[in-house]
């Protein structure tokens, strides 16, 4: 089958790989109908996620048709159209029973399979992902959800990650009625977080990025204010001035770590040298949010250590919340929001590319070329 494979930092290619097999009675094999490229794939493409092995296939956002099921699978049958949350979760452990699928510990005594994330290094299980013609889906009764017949396939695809992630970012912000929410990052996740913030009662939503085409999009899509941080010498002071000198009530980091070398940053009046894989957006979030405010982090930090001004956060009495999205927890709710027109996921898709074009698609998305917001891959049918 065709699959993208990782060859080393900034290097991927399209390969032929053996078809995946049922390895466990709880597995299913899915024929992929759509797969998306995510900002998280960019971190792993940059080589920032430890133990990413040559030959592995990325892709944690995909829909498909069930091709085969293991002997224990109850909820799926061959031919079902499914969307597959990016979390691989056992459904039975302490965390899964609390719907914290992103934190699955897999203590399921009947399983020899671990929890993880599709196509996201051996740090998160070493499973191949869905940027391929077929993919193996462990715990097939837990993650996959049948796509409702009235539901658009592209909307379903975006429910596997960016919609629930943006929504959870807003939820973790503990937004109170009338709060001012600043979202750092106008990528797919930030766009969804901005739109979701209104659903939690925000009174004002401001999105910060430097890519004008994305700011223009989110201004219309999420009916929010936008700020281009490159137009301001001190973005933290500018955000404070915009918010009665207090700072926003809630800041959301929808950016994550950066691969762009060493540079000097001034945070809270202190100059620090930042490492590759560093964290400008989270610094700005901690610095600009008002005292006793909340910083909600969904941006991914691949390296285990990043420089974060914890002393500033302590002195300001901040609440810091962060997690991988617990995708399945939100699906029934989000399907209703999409049906009601409160969220319009597929509107963020700017590029639809055959799987064979995956290499160029990664470079385009990484370099933010051709006004790309979200790029999806279509395997040959």
State the residues that interact with ligand NAD by CB under 6 A. Answer: 38-40, 42-43, 161, 165, 184-190, 208-211, 214, 229, 254-256, 280-281, 298-300, 324-325
Which of Zn ion, ligand NAD, none sits in contact with 325, Cβ below 5 to 8 A by type?
ligand NAD
Q: Which is nearer to Zn ion, 161 or 253 (CB)?
A: 161
- Whichever of 73 and 364 has its CB closer to ligand NAD, that residue is 364
Residue 208, binding choice from Zn ion, ligand NAD, none, Cβ under 5 to 8 Å by partner class: ligand NAD
From ligand NAD, Zn ion, none, interface partner of 12 (C-beta below 5 to 8 A by class): none
Q: Does residue 38 interact with Zn ion by CB under 5 A?
A: yes
Min separation Cβ 343 and ligand NAD, Å: 15
196 binds, among ligand NAD, Zn ion, none (CB under 5 to 8 A by kind): none
Tokens of 68: 């085969």
DSSP per position, 65-87 = EEEEE-TT--S--TT-EEEE-SE
3-class state of residue 104 by DSSP:
coil
Find tokens 């159209």 and name the residue. 81
Question: Residue 131, interface with Zn ion (CB under 5 A)?
Answer: no
Helix or strand run (H / E) with residue 352: strand 349-354
Q: Which of 128, 154, 161, 258 binds Zn ion (CB under 5 A)?
A: 161
How far does CA 114 lie from the centroid of its chain? 21
Q: Which does 185 bind (CB under 5 to 8 A by kind): ligand NAD, Zn ion, none?
A: ligand NAD
Shortest Å, Cβ 149 to ligand NAD = 27
The residue among 65 and 272 lying less far from ligand NAD, judged by its C-beta, is 272
Q: What does the DSSP assignment read for 26-69? A: T-EEEEEEEEEE-HHHHHHHTT-STTPPTT------EEEEEEEE
Half-sphere exposure of 152 (CA within 13 A, CB side): 12
Compare residues 3 and 22 and give the one whose CB is closer to Zn ion: 3
Closest CA to 167 of 335, 43, 300: 335
Cβ closest to ligand NAD, residue 144 vs residue 185: 185
Query: Which one of the spans 72-80, 93-101, 157-165, 219-227 is the region binding Zn ion (CB under 5 A)?
Result: 157-165
- 240 contacts which partner out of Zn ion, ligand NAD, none, CB within 5 to 8 A by kind? none
Count Cβ atoms within 10 A of the Cβ of residue 304 and give its class: 0-12 exposed, 13-18 middle, 19 or more buried: exposed
Is the CB of 38 or the CB of 206 nearer to Zn ion? 38
Select the span of 39-47, 141-149, 307-315, 353-361 touching Zn ion (CB under 5 A): 39-47
User: Residue 43's binding partner, choosing from Zn ion, ligand NAD, none, with beta-carbon cut-off 5 to 8 A by kind?
Assistant: ligand NAD
By rule CB under 5 A, what count of residues binds Zn ion?
A: 3
For 276, list phi and psi in degrees, rounded to 5: -60, 145
For ligand NAD, give the closer residue by CB, 111 or 280: 280
Confirm or reject binding of residue 49 to Zn ion (CB under 5 A).
no
Count how many Cα atoms sit within 13 Å of the Cα of residue 364 in the half-sphere of its side chain.
Answer: 18
**Residue 40 sits in the site that holds Zn ion (CB under 5 A):** yes
12 SS3 class: strand
Compute the least distance from the CB of residue 257 to ligand NAD, in Å: 7
Give me 224's structure tokens: 């929010």
SS (H, E, C) 257-326: CECCCCEEEEECCEEEEECCCECHHHHHHHHHCCCCCEEEECCCCCCCCCCCCHHHHHHHCCEEEECCCC
Give me the residues that bind Zn ion (CB under 5 A), please: 38, 40, 161
């Amino acid at each position: 089958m065709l699959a993208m494979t990782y060859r080393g930092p900034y290097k991927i290619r399209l390969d032929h790989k053996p078809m995946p097999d049922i390895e466990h009675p709880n597995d299913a094999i899915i024929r992929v109908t759509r797969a998306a490229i995510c900002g998280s794939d960019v971190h792993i493409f940059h080589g920032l996620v430890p133990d990413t092995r040559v030959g592995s296939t990325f892709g944690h956002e995909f829909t498909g048709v069930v091709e085969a099921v293991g002997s224990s699978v109850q909820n799926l049958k061959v031919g079902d159209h499914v969307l597959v949350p990016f979390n691989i979760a056992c459904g039975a452990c302490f965390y899964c029973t609390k719907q914290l699928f992103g934190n699955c510990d897999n203590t399921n005594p009947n399983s020899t399979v671990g929890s993880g994330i599709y196509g996201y290094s051996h740090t998160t299980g070493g499973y191949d992902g869905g940027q391929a013609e077929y993919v193996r889906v462990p715990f097939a009764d837990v993650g996959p959800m049948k796509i409702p017949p009235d539901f658009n396939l592209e909307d379903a695809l975006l429910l596997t990650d960016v919609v629930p992630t943006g929504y959870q970012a807003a939820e973790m912000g503990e937004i109170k009625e009338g709060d001012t929410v600043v979202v750092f990052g106008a990528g797919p996740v930030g766009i969804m977080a901005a739109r979701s913030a209104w659903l939690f009662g925000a009174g004002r939503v401001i999105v910060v990025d430097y890519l004008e085409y994305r700011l223009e999009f989110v201004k219309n899509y999420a009916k929010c204010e936008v700020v281009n941080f490159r137009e301001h010498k001190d973005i933290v002071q500018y955000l404070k001035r915009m918010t009665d000198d207090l700072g926003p009530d809630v800041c959301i980091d929808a950016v994550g770590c950066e691969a762009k070398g060493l540079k000097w940053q001034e945070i809270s009046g202190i100059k620090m040298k930042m490492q590759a894989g560093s964290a400008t957006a989270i610094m700005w979030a901690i610095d600009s949010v008002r005292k006793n405010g909340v910083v909600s982090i969904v941006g991914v930090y691949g390296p285990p250590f990043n420089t974060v001004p914890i002393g500033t956060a302590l002195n300001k009495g901040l609440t810091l919340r962060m997690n991988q999205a617990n995708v399945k927890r939100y699906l029934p709710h989000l399907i209703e929001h999409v049906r009601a027109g409160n969220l319009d996921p597929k509107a963020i898709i700017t590029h639809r590319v055959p799987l064979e074009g995956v290499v160029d698609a990664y470079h385009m998305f990484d370099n933010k070329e051709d006004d790309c917001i979200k790029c999806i891959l279509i395997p040959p049918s």
